[in-house]
Amino acid sequence: MLPGAVRERALSAAPPAYVYDLAGLGAHAAAIREAVPAELYYAAKANPDARILAALAPHVDGVEVSSGGELAHVRAALPGARLAFGGPGKTEEELAAAFAGPAPVHRIHVESPLELRRLAALRREADVLLRVNLPVAAAGASLRMSGPFGMDAEALGRCLDLLAEAPWLRLRGMHAHLASGLEAEPLLEVAAHVLGWARSWLEGPAEINLGGGMAVDYRDPARRFDWAAYGAGLAALRRPGEVLRVEPGRAVTAYCGWYVTDVLDVKRTHGTSYAVLRGGTHHLRTPAAKGHDQPFTVLPAGDGDGVGGPVTLVGQLCTPKDVLARDVTVERIAVGDVVAFAMAGAYAWNISHHDFLMHPKPSVHYVGPD
Ligand SMILES: *Cc1c(COP(=O)(O)O)cnc(C)c1O
């Protein structure tokens, strides 16, 4: 489960640290692209680390950015990459930035009629997708992107009226990111629904961006989203002349990152065994945000006090929410041991509240090709 090069670096790096396996990431992304008969964009918000973006670049058709900050960052990290610019509440400055680079962004995903008006007011040529918000059942989804995201049929109709008056904006098709945390089969059901709807709405074959949201199972790092089944399903759904695009984030980069730290204290309080680790959820917020136990491997390195059996791994923050894994059975964990938390490559460091309590920040290490 822990690649040799990652284990080696985990044991040699001063804790706390993030270790990214760039070779594994490249191979994973290449396999996704091979399996899926659609353009593959990477959703940068999952992990915008510049080395990760560079490792992904040969294996993706483009990058989806969701803010002016991500737009500037990805342009600097990957000059010339094809970009799709999405995200709610784009300001006039952010929309203008879409045209300020060496090349305009490839697609702008429009979230509302007012946003389209703001874009039209810039009087620049642009290729747009309208983001739709369709009610879907999406059984099993961890997060439904309903609410403010995208537009219903009434708002889309207003967009068509606006586009008729702004011929410098080219309507290329639809964008839909309706749910996340879905396995291949339910995600294909959502895709069929979106495609049926988009085809009835658009004239002629067009481009449909089906979003991301492919499931990642934090209970079992070895169980991966079934890209082959998803790809076969998309191939069956696609019609000649249509351009399909997907923009996953989590399922691309989750597996390439480890948060590595060491055990500072082991104690028993009111019947519960705790291992207190250097760092905590201010470095790896994912288990607190998603409410799961972050999978981990204990690398024996210490000769201090230890415990076995169910143990709760906590960090150094002064809050009971600083729990990385709860009541997980271990053979033994001891003061000085190194703990490598897996699946820390997406929505991990970059969503964490680093400055809370002012502990030192983790160093970042890369293994794999330079
Ligand atoms: C977050 C997001 C994605 C990526 O979602 P994952 O669950 O990380 O695959 C794709 N598209 C849009 C519009 C998003 O907001």
Q: List the CATH number of the domain containing 172.
A: 3.20.20.10
The ligand 1 atom nearest the CA atom of 347: 8
Q: How many CB atoms lie within 10 A of CB 289?
A: 13
Largest CA distance in the chain: 73
CA 74 – CA 68 distance, rounded (Å): 10
Q: Looking at 197, 218, 248, which one is the last position of a domain?
A: 248
In a domain, 4, yes or no: no
Residue 337 lies in a domain: yes
Out of 164, 222, 318, 358, the active site residue is 318
- What are the structure tokens assigned to 233, written together? 């399903």
In terms of domains, do 216 and 285 share one?
no
Beta strands 338-341; 257-269: pairing state: antiparallel
Are residues 215 and 363 located together in one domain of the fold?
A: no
Dihedral (Cα; 88, 89, 94, 98), 10-degree rounding: 40
In-domain check, residue 69:
no
The CA 233 to ligand 1 mean position distance, Å, reads 20
**pLDDT, position 145:** 59
Q: Do residue 238 and residue 284 come from a single domain? A: no
Same domain flag for 241 and 301: no
* pLDDT mean over 335-346: 98
Q: How many CB atoms lie within 10 A of CB 70?
A: 21
pLDDT tens readout for residues 245-270: 999 999 999 999 999 999 999 999 99
Flag whether 42 is in a domain. Answer: no
Q: Is the pLDDT of residue 139 over 60?
A: no
Q: Are 201 and 270 in a shared domain?
A: no
- H helices, E strands: number in the chain: 11, 18
- Distance (Å, rounded) from C-alpha 199 to C-alpha 46? 30
Q: Which atom of ligand 1 is nearest to the CA of 45?
A: 1
What pLDDT sits at residue 147?
74
177: CA distance to ligand 1 center in Å? 7
DSSP conformation class of 22: H
In a domain, 363, yes or no: yes
- The verdict on 264 and 336 lying in the same domain is yes
- Residue 56 to residue 74: CA distance in whole angstroms: 12
Position 369 scores a pLDDT of 72
Residue 298 CA to ligand 1 center (angstroms) comes to: 32
Which of 248, 270, 285 is the endpoint of a domain? 248
Mind giving me the DSSP string for 284-329?
--HHHHHTSPPPEEEE----S-EEEEEEEEE-SSSSTT-EEEEEEE
Give the global pTM.
0.96
Distance 338 CA to ligand 1 centre (A): 32
Q: Is 345 in the pocket of ligand 1 (CB under 6 A)?
A: no
- 302 shares its domain with 193: no
Q: Is 286 in the pocket of ligand 1 (CB under 6 A)?
A: no
129 lines ligand 1 (CB under 6 A): no
Q: How far is the CA of 176 from the centre of ligand 1 (A)?
A: 10
- Give the pLDDT score at 144: 64
Domain range for 87: 82-248
The question of whether 318 is a catalytic residue gets the answer: yes
Query: Is residue 325's pLDDT more than 80?
Result: yes
For residue 1, being part of any structural domain is answered with no
Q: Ligand 1 centroid to 250 CA: how many Å? A: 8
66 C-alpha to ligand 1 centroid (Å) = 9
**Looking at residues 91-116, what average pLDDT do you find?**
95
One domain for residues 96 and 221: yes
Contacts of 114 (CB under 8 A, 6+ apart): none
163 Cβ closer than 6 Å to some ligand 1 atom: no
User: 212: Cβ below 6 Å to ligand 1?
Assistant: yes
| Residues 140, 225 within the same domain | yes
* Integer Cα distance of 182 and 225 in angstroms: 9
Q: Are residues 215 and 315 in the same domain?
A: no
CA angle 190, 193, 199 (to 5 degrees): 135
Q: Which of 262, 274, 256, 241 is nearest to 368 (CA)?
A: 256
Closest of 253, 228, 221 to residue 56, by C-alpha: 253
Residue with the smallest CA separation from ligand 1 atom 10 is 212
Nearest ligand 1 atom to alpha carbon 212: 9
Residue 248 CB less than 6 A away from ligand 1: yes
The DSSP code sequence of 337-367 is -EEEESS-SSSSGGGS-TTGGGPPPPEEEEE
- 250 Cβ inside 6 Å of ligand 1: yes
Task: Indicate the pLDDT class of residue 143, thresholds 50, 70 and 90.
Answer: low
**Closest by alpha carbon to 339, among 300, 291, 293, 286?**
300
- Domain count of the chain? 2
Question: What whole-number distance in Å separates Cα of residue 356 and Cα of residue 149?
Answer: 30
Same domain, yes or no: 95 and 241: yes
Task: Decide whether any atom of ligand 1 lies within 6 Å of the 213 Cβ.
Answer: yes
Element holding 244 (H helix, E strand) = strand 243-246
Yes or no: say if 44 and 65 are a contact pair by the CB < 8 Å rule. yes
Please tell me the predicted confidence (pLDDT) of residue 1. 75
Confidence class of residue 141 from pLDDT cuts 50, 70 and 90? low
Q: Whose CA is nearest to atom 7 of ligand 1?
A: 213
- Tell me, what CATH number does 261's domain have? 2.40.37.10
**Residue that terminates a domain, selected from 200, 231, 248:** 248
**DSSP H or E segment with residue 236:** helix 227-237
Q: Is the pLDDT of residue 304 over 90?
A: no
Q: Which atom of ligand 1 sits closest to the CA of residue 247?
A: 10
Structural domain includes residue 147: yes
CB distance 45 to ligand 1 below 6 Å: yes
Asked if residue 53 is part of any domain, the answer here is: no
DSSP label at residue 44: G
DSSP 132: B
Q: Are residues 278 and 160 in the same domain?
A: no
What share of the chain in percent tops pLDDT 70?
A: 97
Q: How many CB atoms lie within 10 A of CB 329?
A: 8
